[in-house]
Amino acid sequence: MIKTTVIIDGMMCNMCENHVNDAIRKKFPEIQSVRSRYKKGLTEIISERAYTKEELSLLLDESGYIVKEASSEQFTKRSFLFFGKR
C-alpha cells in the first residue's frame, strides 16, 4: 500500500474536508481510504498506487483548493494490541 500526503490550501472547515474527500473518492474509486484535516491543511490517501500533484491539482483546483505539494511513501497498516480489562 502507498500513502500519498497532499498539502492543500483553501480548506477552512469540516465541510471543506468532506468536499475534498468526496471529490477524491469519486475520481479515484479504487482508493482504500482518504482523510483530510483542514487545521493542518493536509489530506492522506491510502491506495495501491501513488497520486501525483498534477492529478490532484486537476481535480481540486477547479473547486477552489490549491494543491501545494504531494508526496508518497510505503504504508504498512499498524495493528494495535489492547491489554486492558475485559
Instruction: Express each pLDDT in 45-56 by its tens digit.
Output: 999 999 999 999
Query: In this model, does residue 83 exceed pLDDT 70?
Result: no
Inside any domain, residue 86: no
Give the CATH number for residue 9: 3.30.70.100
pLDDT, position 80: 57
Q: Which residues pair with 71 in a beta bridge?
A: 5
Inside any domain, residue 39: yes
Domain count, the chain: 1
Quote the CA–CA distance of 36 and 20 in Å, as a whole number: 7
Inside any domain, residue 41: yes
Inside any domain, residue 42: yes
Give the structural domain span for 18. Answer: 2-74
Model-level pTM? Answer: 0.85
pLDDT, position 62: 84
